[in-house]
Amino acid sequence: MKSNLVPVILTAALTSVGTIFAVKQFSKSDPVLWDSSRQLPVNYVSYSSENGPVKGAPVDFRNAAESSVKAVVHIKTTINSRTVVARDPFAEMFGDNYFRQYRTPEQMGSGSGVVISPDGYIVTNNHVVNGADVVTVTFNDRNTRQAKVIGTDPSTDIAILKIDEKNLPFMEFGNSDDVHLGEWVLAVGYPLSLDATVTAGIVSAKGRTIGAAGTRGRSAIESFIQTDAAVNPGNSGGPLVNATGQLIGINSAIASLTGSYTGYSYAIPANIVKKAAADIIQYGTVQRGFLGIEPRDFKYATPDEIKTYKLTETEGVFVAGVSDKGGAKAAGIQKGDFITAINSSKVTTIPELNEQVARYKPGDHISVTYLRNGREQSTSVELKNINGTTDVVKDEVASPLTGASLGELSAAEKRKYGIEAGITVKKVGEGLLAKARMRDGYIITGINGNPVNTVTAVEEALSSRNDIQLEGFYPDRNGMYYYNIPAR
The pLDDT score that the predictor gives to residue 481 is: 86
Q: Using one digit for the tens of pLDDT, what is the confidence trace for 462-472?
A: 877 677 888 89
The pLDDT value recorded for residue 18 is: 59
**Which residue numbers are catalytic?**
127, 157, 236
Residues whose CB is less than 8 angstroms from the CB of residue 92 and which lie 6 or more positions away in sequence, other chains included: none
Residue 436, class by beta-carbon neighbours within 10 Å (0-12 exposed, 13-18 middle, 19+ buried)?
middle
User: How much is the mean pLDDT over the chain?
Assistant: 83
Sign, CA dihedral 206-212-214-218, equals negative
Q: CA quadruple 433, 438, 441, 445: dihedral positive or negative?
A: negative
Q: pLDDT band at residue 49, thresholds of 50, 70 and 90?
A: very low
pLDDT at residue 95 in the model:
54
Q: Is the pLDDT score of 187 beyond 60?
A: yes
Identity at 428, one-letter amino acid code? V
Look at residue 396 in the predicted model and tell me its pLDDT.
44
| Secondary structure E strands in 179-263 | 184-189, 197-208, 224-227, 239-241, 247-255
Question: What is the DSSP secondary-structure string of 32-46?
Answer: TS--TTSPPP---SS
Task: Report how far residue 274's alpha carbon sits from residue 160's, in angstroms, rounded to the nearest whole number.
Answer: 11
| Chain center to CA of 179 | 16
pLDDT in tens, 296-336: 877 667 788 778 777 777 788 999 899 988 899 999 999 99
Position 216 confidence tier, pLDDT thresholds 50, 70, 90? low
Taking 80 as the threshold, does the pLDDT of residue 222 lie above it? yes
Where residue 219 falls among pLDDT bands split at 50, 70, 90? low
Length of the chain: 488
pLDDT at 259 > cutoff 90:
no
User: In this model, does residue 128 exceed pLDDT 90?
Assistant: yes
SS3 assignment, position 158: strand
DSSP 50-113: TTEEEESPPP--HHHHHHHHHHEEEEEEEE--EEEEEE-TTHHHH-TT-EEEEEEPPEEEEEEE
- List, in order of start, the domains of the chain with CATH numbers: 1-40 (no CATH), 62-283 (2.40.10.120), 293-382 (2.30.42.10), 405-485 (2.30.42.10)
Pick the residue with more confidence: 332 or 44? Answer: 332
Question: What pLDDT is stored for residue 38 in this prediction?
Answer: 45
Q: Cα–Cα distance between 322 and 21 in angstroms, integer?
A: 83
For 190, 241, 413, the CA distances from 74, given in Å and listed in that order, are: 6, 17, 47
pLDDT score recorded for residue 138: 96
pLDDT at 110: 95
Q: Which of 4-8, 77-81, 107-111 has the highest mean pLDDT?
A: 107-111
In this prediction, residue 252 carries a pLDDT of: 94
Q: What is the pTM of this model?
A: 0.70
Q: What is the mean pLDDT of residues 382-411?
A: 78
pLDDT band per the 50, 70, 90 thresholds, residue 83: low
What pLDDT shows up at residue 43? 39
Over residues 405-436, the pLDDT tens digits come to 899 888 888 888 889 889 999 988 877 888 77
| Cβ 397 vs Cβ 488: under 8 Å | yes
- Residue 375: how many other CB atoms lie within 10 Å: 7
Query: In the predicted model, is pLDDT for residue 258 greater than 70?
Result: yes
Burial call 275-284: b when 16+ CB within 10 Å, e when fewer? bbbebbbeee
Average pLDDT score over residue span 388-393: 87
Please tell me the predicted confidence (pLDDT) of residue 86.
Answer: 55
Greater pLDDT, 80 or 121: 121
Q: Which of 175-189, 220-234, 235-249, 287-301 is predicted least confidently?
A: 287-301
Q: pLDDT grade, residue 26 (50/70/90)?
A: very low
Q: What is the CA radius of gyration of the chain?
A: 32
- Most confidently predicted of 158-162, 307-311, 435-439: 158-162
For residue 10, the model assigns a pLDDT of 59
Given a cut of 50, whether residue 355 has pLDDT beyond it is yes
